[in-house]
Amino acid sequence: MGFALWLQYASIALMVLASAVFVVRRQFPGSVRRLQGRLALWAMIPSHAAWLQGLGRRIAPHSMKMGQAGCGGCDQSGDCHS
C-alpha cells in the first residue's frame, strides 16, 4: 500500500472519530460531564506529575450556576423549559 492510501485511511478514521465524539457530546452531555470530571479529579492527585495536574485543571468541567443542575447541558441562556 502506498502512502497516499494510508493517508486516506487515516483521514477517514479521524473524521469518523470526530463525528462519534460530536454525537456522544450532543446526545449524552451529563455522562460526558461526569466522565470529564472524574478524569480531571484523577489527574489532579497530588502525587501525579505537575504536567498531568495541569492537564487535569485544564480539562475540568466549568462549575454550573445554581438552578442549572437539571438542565440538559445546552449553552442557551435563560429558562431551559421555555
Q: Is residue 55 part of a domain?
A: yes
Q: Is residue 66 part of a domain?
A: no
Give the residue ranges of the chain where pLDDT is below 50. 82
Q: Shortest CA distance to 75 belongs to which of 14, 29, 21, 37?
A: 29
Q: Is residue 68 part of a domain?
A: no
- Structural domain count of the chain: 1
Q: Where are the beta strands (DSSP E) in the chain?
A: none
Per the structure, the complete domain to which residue 50 belongs is given by 29-59
Q: Is residue 11 part of a domain?
A: no
What does the pLDDT read at residue 56?
Answer: 94
Q: Shortest CA distance to 59 belongs to which of 81, 39, 30?
A: 39
What does the pLDDT read at residue 3?
Answer: 93
**Cα 35 to Cα 30: distance, rounded to the nearest angstrom:** 9
Q: How far is CA 43 from the centre of its chain?
A: 15
Q: Is residue 65 part of a domain?
A: no
